[in-house]
Amino acid sequence: MNKFSKIIVIVALGLAVIGCGLFFTGKALGGSTRFNIGFDNASKPVMITTEDIVEGSIDLDAFDSIDIRVSSIDFKLCKGDSYKLTYRCSDSLIPEVKVENKRLTLKQPKANVNFSFEFGVDYDFKYVLYVPADKIDTLIDASSSYITVEDVDIFGRIQTSSGDVQINNSNGKDISVKTSSGEIFFKNASFDSVTFNSSSGDMNLNDIACRKMTLYTSSGEVSINDTNVEEVEITTSSGDINTFLKGSKVTKFQTSSGEVKSSFEGSVNDYSINVKTSSGVIKAGDVKTEKELSLNAGVQNVIDCVTTSGDVELSFAK
């Protein structure tokens, strides 16, 4: 470790000790202050108290599309009686909002601290956008924020680095969600096309209706329950796949080392089944084998599954 690195470590530890002392002193006196201790943009040690949490609302002109840019504050889009934004955050993080040509743009201001230790209460910082509109053209770009859409019909794209994405009670044409390590929750929704992409986050879908569904994850698990989809393609590297599918005409599963467990409507004879695995066990209805299975060639409904080392189990509700 060079001299500069040692100085940085010593300063950081010193700031941590000071912060702990201040925090416990405040708690002993009955306070509930949260301290941020770190460096400002001029690389000078600073202490910032975030006791000045503000709550407010902004009335908005009507819009039918949104462009949301947040980095650390959670964002929620939900049904309301009017176009309105509410916020709970520190004074310096009140969002920048404008409506032009019926398009809302919201940006989270950049924080003036880029390295910090935090002590005390973890405040619930959030932006909540209320809309009475039937459909919203959606573009949301976030870093570590938790994104929620509830009771609003949307179409468009949502992207986040490490924050989770949750969509409930929503309908639309096409929706695309991409996240690096966040989880995706999708419930009680109807879309023409759904595309989800995640590097390491799990995907949980329940009570979904759509024509086409494409899901990709590197190491996350995919869980689908009570879903009506005509065409579905799921690809994972090492995550398991667990599904209960209705009305499926074309089903494609591909995984390297994950297991596949999927339930379908009808009987095994209603599907043309092609399964290949290098070292896993294959079970389709009452048929059990290893490495490769082909059944009912020429049947219109198709199930294709390829896995390297995972087991495959296909069951059918007769």
Q: Look at residue 291 and tell me whether its pLDDT is greater than 70.
A: yes
Tell me the average pLDDT across 248-265: 94
Give the residue with greater pLDDT, 13 vs 161: 161
Cα three-residue angle 240-241-247, rounded to 5 degrees:
175
Structure confidence at residue 13 (pLDDT): 55
pLDDT tens, residue by residue, 96-152: 999 999 999 999 998 654 334 444 444 589 999 999 988 999 999 999 899 999 999
Task: With H, G, I as helix, E, B as strand and everything else as coil, classify residue 18.
Answer: helix
Q: Give domain limits for the chain.
A: 3-49, 164-318
Of the pLDDT bands very low, low, confident and very high (cuts 50, 70, 90), residue 236 is very high
Structure confidence at residue 133 (pLDDT): 82
Tell me the average pLDDT across 24-41: 44
Q: Look at residue 28 and tell me whether its pLDDT is greater than 70.
A: no
The CA distance from 280 to 306, in Å, is 10
Best CA proximity match to 73, nearest among 54, 53, 95, 45 = 95
DSSP, res 268: G
Ranking 37-41, 130-134, 264-268 by mean pLDDT, the lowest is 37-41
> Rounded mean pLDDT of the chain?
85
Tell me the average pLDDT across 76-95: 94
**Residues 65 and 102: beta-carbon distance below 8 Å:** yes
Ranking 32-46, 87-101, 166-180, 244-258 by mean pLDDT, the lowest is 32-46
DSSP-assigned letters across all residues of 75-138: EEEEE-SS-EEEEEEEGGGPPEEEEETTEEEEEPPPPSEEEEEEES-----EEEEEE--SEEEE
